[in-house]
Amino acid sequence: MSRTTPYEPYAQPGPREPELPRTSSPPAPGAITVIGTGTGGAATAPAGATLVVGARRHLEAARLPDTVERIVLGPLAPALDGIERHLGSPEHRNRQVTVLASGDPGFFGIVRALGARFGPAALNVRPSSPSIAVAFARLGLSWDDAVVVSAHGRDPRTAVNVCRAHPKTAVLTGPGAGPAELGAALARTGIERTLVVAAALGTADETVERVSPADAAVRDWSGTGVSVVLCLDEARVLSPVQRIVAGPPAAPAGWALPESAFGYRDSMITKFEVRALALARLAPRTGDLVWDIGAGSGSVAVECARFGAAAVAVEQTSDGIGRIRANAAAHGVDVQIVHGAAPTVLSQLPDPDAVFIGGGGRDLPGIVGACARRARRTVVVTLAAVDRVGDVRDALSAAGLEPDGLLLQSSRLAPLPGGVTRLAANNPVFVLWATRPGTEGAIL
């Protein structure tokens, strides 16, 4: 499988890099001019610039005088150190730095790092059109309801999970996270998506091409100048709702939906009281991948998808598969459905952030152990048999997670003749959960 050549680096540290130190002597206001070059167009450094920083193609296009010092952007820290040395020289009062960047440098760009190092007052930012805006414009689509995710210098799994869960996503590409990698990951889900690959935007070589994930996976995209990939559910890209807040839909107004909101067989559904606690411990969110093992009706998978997470429902019964598909469609979410028994079928799935396991027979401790070894953050298990609680806790601990739990007993209000009310007890359920140390409160 080919790997995408980086188009131009977004000069910004990844979210888990240490903060860069601020210079001890702040530069003069506006000492650093940051220019967005647009979608492929060249930018000219202001007259008087003594240092110009940018990607190699930006520096070549600017046609700078020989007297101007240059720094080619690669790793960010050395470039920031070079800017600080330049401005900290004895003649710094007469020195002006220009930074050339792609599109809007304040959107997943170098402005964040420059501001953290030198202070916002030192920056004079002149943005251009972001590549995302131009790509959507080429399709005649609005993008206030799109989810934007950067895969440049970051783990691409977040971008893949966002594409799986949302009908309109824009991915800023990077090495190892281009059309081929996104396509390969999405093709395995069975979820309907179209990739729109935008390359060399604003130049004579511009291309905007619709491809299936499977076709994208086998193409060689190196050297094409890909900067953004749009991932679309073509049936849902036109939202009739006028937006007030941009970005993905807000969290659902309600959760732990009543059992009547789902189709299910007999009593084979996680009761809403249990589901409420399970959701609180799973903490599904945009960018996460959640497994629902022994999904039954798929109620937990559907609720996680309503929170913006990518959800996988594993179910071994044929009639259960049909119910999960119908419940996901009824709630307008995408759920990947895997027909088979855990843990056998789990090897074909990418590692989850969180796992929900509902009930289980004698094989439950083995299933819990297999899931817990791969869970990045949390596992939640519900079961009725007290005999299996110890084994499940042991399986969670053996996988390096820290287990906890409780016995949930609830009674619902039920009417009696004469207009009075009684309490109708539900069967008690053990809710066990375990978290991998160090993952509490982790951010994307």
* Mean pLDDT, residues 3-11 taken together: 34
Q: Reply yes or no on whether the pLDDT at 117 is more than 80.
A: yes
Which of 405, 431, 425 lies closest to 413 in space, CA to CA? 425
State mean pLDDT over 20-49: 73
Share of the chain above pLDDT 90, in %: 70
**Pairwise CA distance, residues 222 & 228, whole Å:** 14
How high is the pLDDT of residue 84? Answer: 93
Every domain of the chain and the residues it spans:
32-126, 131-232, 259-435
> In the prediction, which pLDDT does 251 show?
82
First to last CA, the chain: 27
pLDDT tens column, 388-444 = 999 999 999 999 999 999 999 999 999 999 999 999 999 999 999 999 998 875 555
Contacts for 179 with CB less than 8 Å, ≥ 6 apart: 4, 173, 195, 197, 211, 216, 219, 221, 226, 229
Q: Which residue has the higher pLDDT, 129 or 371?
A: 371
**Which pLDDT tens digit goes with each residue over 392-402?**
999 999 999 99
pTM: 0.86
In the predicted structure, residue 124 carries a pLDDT above the cut 70: yes
Question: What is the per-residue pLDDT for 205?
Answer: 87
Rg of the chain (C-alpha set):
26
Higher pLDDT, 149 or 42: 149
CATH number for the domain running over 259-435: 3.40.50.150
pLDDT on residue 23: 47
Average pLDDT, the chain: 89
Distance CA 42, CA 203 (A): 10
Query: Residue 20's pLDDT band (boundaries 50, 70, 90)?
Result: very low
Compute the average pLDDT of residues 26-53. Answer: 81
Percentage of the chain modeled with pLDDT above 70: 91
Packing angle, helices 76-87 and 111-118, rounded to 10: 50
CATH of 131-232, one of 3.40.50.300, 3.40.50.1000, 3.30.950.10, 3.30.360.10: 3.30.950.10
Q: What is the dihedral of CA 167, 173, 174, 177, to 10 degrees?
A: 40
Mean pLDDT of the 316-333 span: 96
For 284, phi then psi, to 5°, come to -70, 145
CATH architecture for the domain at 32-126: 3-Layer(aba) Sandwich (3.40)
Q: Is the model's pLDDT at 146 over the cut of 50?
A: yes
What tens digit of pLDDT does each residue of 366-379 get? 999 999 999 999 99
Given a contact cutoff of 8 angstroms between Cβ atoms, the answer to whether 396 and 379 are in contact is yes
Cα–Cα distances in angstroms (integers) from residue 388 to residues 64, 132, 234, 378, 381, in the given order: 72, 51, 46, 19, 11
